[in-house]
């Protein structure tokens, strides 16, 4: 599974980092970034983080997180 983030949509609510702290982090203004790939907006999600990222995806109030299944 791939995860895309859309920082332009992010309202800095902080929920995704609560549910998936190994994947999401924030810049100085609280806008989402990828913790281990802060220069990118997409990464592959390790299987052990899938459940956490699914919760974060569902909790994000503005759909600033997208999930794409690997084919």
Q: How far is the CB of 7 from ligand SF4 (least distance, A)?
A: 8
Q: How far is the CB of 33 from ligand SF4 (least distance, A)?
A: 9
Q: Which of 1, 15, 34, 55 binds ligand SF4 (CB under 6 A)?
A: 15
C-beta closer to ligand SF4: residue 59 or 71: 59
Torsion sign across C-alpha atoms 1, 55, 5, 66: positive
Q: Is 12 in the site for ligand SF4 (CB under 6 A)?
A: yes
Closest CA to 56 of 11, 24, 9: 24
Distances (CA, A) of 35 to 6, 14, 71: 14, 13, 25
Q: Is 45 in the site for ligand SF4 (CB under 6 A)?
A: no
Q: What share of the chain is helix, strand, coil (3-state, %, to 5)?
A: 30, 25, 45
Binding site for ligand SF4 (CB under 6 A): 10-16, 32, 59-62, 64-65
């Amino acid at each position: 599974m791939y995860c895309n983030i859309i920082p332009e949509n992010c309202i800095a609510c902080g929920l995704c980092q609560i549910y998936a702290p190994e994947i999401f982090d924030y810049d100085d203004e609280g806008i989402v970034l990828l913790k281990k790939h802060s220069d990118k907006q997409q990464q592959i999600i390790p299987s052990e983080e899938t459940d956490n990222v699914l919760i974060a995806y569902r909790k994000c109030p503005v759909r600033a997180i997208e999930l794409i299944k690997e084919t």
